[in-house]
């Protein structure tokens, strides 16, 4: 039985130790003893090769190295979830004519109360042809043009029908019961939108209301930021993976360990190929760790790539529903946020055992408690204490809070207990604004990283869409070429192609899909083909 080391298969030459190990692998194991791959034992790091990086520094690094993608023109109907790359201006006034605010009668205010003859009807989408003379009125519907001669609208509730046609289909005479004032219940020309007004600014994240507004002002095509193209693959040996990134792909590893729980082995690297930068996220193998770090690092990067002006996670205040013991590392503790009747803040209930292999801790979770590290003075937080919570899931139990802000991902006790010790509920002091509670200007640093472009590196020509998440590997590509190009040579290509998609990768796909990426593909399904299916 022969043993082939993955490292030997990928790295030609090597050190004297590697050559000796390669020679050892060629020996057969006889006598019925089980085979042991000595290279996987011998090359296992006794000490971590990467220094610990703080959560704040890691998060800032990711945002600094992430670039906004290019733009494309789409039909406004396809704009749901997209980010505008241009300002949108109104071509005409809205309404383009004096319009009725209510169903009722267009009257001459000078006529006052009394009996009036009805000369016709003005409906939305039609232009009236009659002029209202003294002693006359015209029936109008909401949004309908006001006929010439009329200068006010009296709602139906302030009138009394006196006479109608024999078949009951037409009103002939009505009694006006109130004194109307000029301009009453009429929207003047340009009341809602004036010609030339900017109705949607560049960077707007479009939803149903924004799409409706585009239709209202007659804009059928808009320029938007491109969607990131994402692929996910699951890998095996983490140490081998990082060596592949560093040695074989020549990627720049920015950090290989983050001082947090869960997610200690999280790795972030960048790879410049053909002048386009790809982002590589190597997430932990445990499902919970992968999902948590995906929300902390990958999704903000994807949001920035889409052109969202502030890609940072949403952080709100909440009260603990139970005592929570602190960990030596800053912890992102899964919780369920719920509102209580007449309570100003939601309550955060722990999901129980937080072992990273226990996927049950993610069940129904819609937030992450941002807990500070344990100290001699603080070993646990108590029920009722106010903490920062990252709200990351859609839920029917929680809505936007008046305390919700875009905040930095903090890990110190001052950050976690900011409202109790510093802000006292004052949002002007929280998240993104420097103050006494924000020593060192960490909030400003995060805000600047979110808004500025990526750090320029020597030889880089442009930045484009690409993200790889490993152990769960996500490769985000700007172009639609074979992903094997990113892997650079066939040795890596063959090695990765044989891997199977894991539950971790599928879990991550669900998380990344929440920010709606353009093309979501699994590397393992498309590595062997030149055509990539959307």
- Name the residue ranges covered by the structural domains of the chain: 6-42, 52-67+227-309+456-526, 71-94+192-225, 99-187, 314-451
Q: Which residues contact 283 (CB under 8 A, 6 or more apart)?
A: 263, 266, 289, 290, 293, 294, 298, 469, 470, 471, 472, 508
CB 471, CB 237: distance < 8 Å: no
List per-residue pLDDT tens for the chain, 534 residues long.
Answer: 333 333 233 333 444 444 444 443 444 444 444 454 544 544 556 667 789 999 999 999 999 999 898 899 999 999 988 999 999 999 999 999 999 999 999 999 999 999 999 999 999 989 998 999 999 999 999 999 999 999 999 999 999 999 999 888 899 999 999 999 999 999 999 999 999 999 999 999 899 999 999 999 999 999 999 887 666 666 655 555 666 666 667 788 899 899 999 999 898 988 887 777 888 888 887 888 888 888 899 888 888 988 888 888 889 999 999 999 999 999 999 999 988 777 889 999 998 888 887 878 878 888 999 999 999 898 999 999 999 999 876 443 444 333 333 333 333 333 333 333 333 334 333 333 333 334 334 455 555 555 555 444 333 333 444 455 443 344 443 333 333 343 333 333 333 333 333 444 444 444 444 444 443 333 333 333 333 333
Structure confidence at residue 199 (pLDDT): 96
CB 206, CB 215: distance < 8 Å: no
Relative to beta strand 171-176, strand 221-225 is: unpaired
Q: Which fold has domain 71-94+192-225?
A: Molybdopterin biosynthesis moea protein, domain 2 (3.90.105)
Structure confidence at residue 445 (pLDDT): 53
CB 473, CB 509: distance < 8 Å: no
Burial 240-263 (b: 16+ CB within 10 A, else e): bbbbbbeebbebbbbbbbbbbbbb
List Cα–Cα distances, 89 to 73, 85, 191, in angstroms: 16, 13, 16
Superfamily of domain 314-451: MoeA, C-terminal, domain IV (2.40.340.10)
99-187 CATH, one of 3.30.390.50, 2.60.40.10, 2.170.190.11, 3.40.50.1980? 2.170.190.11
Structure confidence at residue 354 (pLDDT): 85
Judged on CB neighbours under 10 Å (0-12, 13-18, 19+), 363 is exposed
Structure confidence at residue 233 (pLDDT): 63
User: Is the peptide bond prior to 274 cis by the omega test (within 30 degrees of 0)?
Assistant: no
Structure confidence at residue 470 (pLDDT): 44
Structure confidence at residue 246 (pLDDT): 65
d(CA 307, CA 84): 8
CB 198, CB 88: distance < 8 Å: yes
SS3 214: helix
Q: Which two tokens stand for residue 188?
A: 């003047």
d(CA 446, CA 275): 27
φ/ψ of 138, rounded to 5, equals: -130, 135
DSSP bridge pairs for 277: 272
Structure confidence at residue 391 (pLDDT): 85
Structure confidence at residue 444 (pLDDT): 53
Other Cβ atoms less than 10 A from the Cβ of 133: the count is 13
CATH architecture assignment, domain 52-67+227-309+456-526: 3-Layer(aba) Sandwich (3.40)
Element (H, E) at 273: strand 267-273
Q: Which residues contact 168 (CB under 8 A, 6 or more apart)?
A: none
């Amino acid at each position: 039985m022969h043993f082939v080391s993955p490292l030997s298969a990928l790295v030609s030459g090597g050190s004297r130790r590697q050559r000796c190990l390669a020679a050892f692998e060629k020996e057969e194991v006889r006598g019925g003893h089980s085979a042991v791959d000595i290279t996987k034992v011998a090359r296992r790091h006794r000490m971590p090769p990467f220094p610990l990086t703080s959560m704040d520094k890691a998060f800032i690094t990711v945002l600094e190295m992430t670039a906004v993608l290019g733009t494309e023109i789409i039909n406004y109907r396809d704009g749901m979830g997209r980010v505008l790359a241009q300002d949108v201006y109104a071509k005409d006034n809205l309404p383009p004519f004096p319009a009725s605010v209510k169903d009722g009668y267009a009257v001459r205010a000078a006529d006052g109360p009394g009996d009036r003859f009805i000369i016709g009807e003005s409906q939305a989408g039609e232009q009236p042809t009659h002029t209202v003379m003294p002693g006359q009125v015209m029936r109008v519907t909401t949004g309908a043009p006001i006929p010439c001669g009329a200068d006010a609208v009296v709602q139906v509730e302030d009138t009394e029908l006196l006479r109608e046609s024999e078949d009951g289909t037409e009103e002939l005479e009505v009694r006006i019961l109130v004194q109307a004032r000029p301009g009453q219940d009429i929207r003047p020309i340009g009341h809602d939108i004036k010609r030339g007004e900017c109705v949607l600014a560049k960077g707007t994240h479009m939803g149903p209301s924004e799409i409706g507004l585009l239709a209202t002002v007659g804009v059928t095509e808009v320029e938007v930021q491109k969607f990131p193209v994402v692929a996910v693959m699951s890998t095996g040996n983490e140490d081998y993976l990082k060596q592949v990134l560093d040695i074989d792909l020549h990627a720049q590893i920015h950090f290989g360990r983050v001082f947090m729980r869960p997610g200690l082995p999280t790795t972030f690297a960048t790879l410049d190929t053909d002048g386009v930068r790809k982002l590589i996220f190597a997430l932990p193998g445990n499902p919970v760790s992968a999902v948590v770090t995906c929300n902390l690092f990958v999704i903000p990067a994807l949001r920035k790539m889409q052109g969202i002006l502030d890609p940072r996670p949403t952080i709100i205040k909440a009260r603990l529903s139970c005592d929570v013991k602190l960990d030596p590392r800053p912890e992102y503790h899964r919780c369920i946020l719920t509102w209580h009747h007449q309570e100003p803040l939601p309550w955060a209930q722990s999901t129980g055992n937080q072992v990273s292999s226990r996927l049950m801790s993610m069940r129904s979770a819609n937030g992450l408690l941002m807990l500070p590290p344990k100290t001699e003075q603080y070993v646990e937080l108590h029920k009722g204490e106010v903490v920062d919570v990252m709200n990351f899931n859609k839920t029917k139990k929680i809505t936007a809070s008046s305390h919700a802000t875009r905040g930095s991902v903090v890990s110190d006790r001052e950050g976690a207990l900011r409202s109790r010790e510093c802000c006292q509920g004052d949002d002007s002091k929280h998240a993104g604004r420097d103050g006494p509670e924000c020593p060192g200007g960490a909030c400003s640093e995060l805000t600047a990283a979110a808004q500025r472009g990526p750090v320029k590196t020597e030889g880089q020509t442009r930045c484009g869409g690409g993200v790889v998440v490993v152990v769960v590997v996500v490769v985000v590509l700007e172009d639609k070429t074979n992903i094997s190009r990113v892997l650079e040579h066939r040795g890596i290509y063959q090695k990765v192609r044989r891997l199977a998609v894991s539950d971790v990768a599928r879990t991550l796909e669900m998380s990344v899909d929440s920010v709606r990426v353009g093309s979501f593909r699994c590397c393992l399904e498309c590595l062997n083909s030149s055509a990539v299916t959307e």
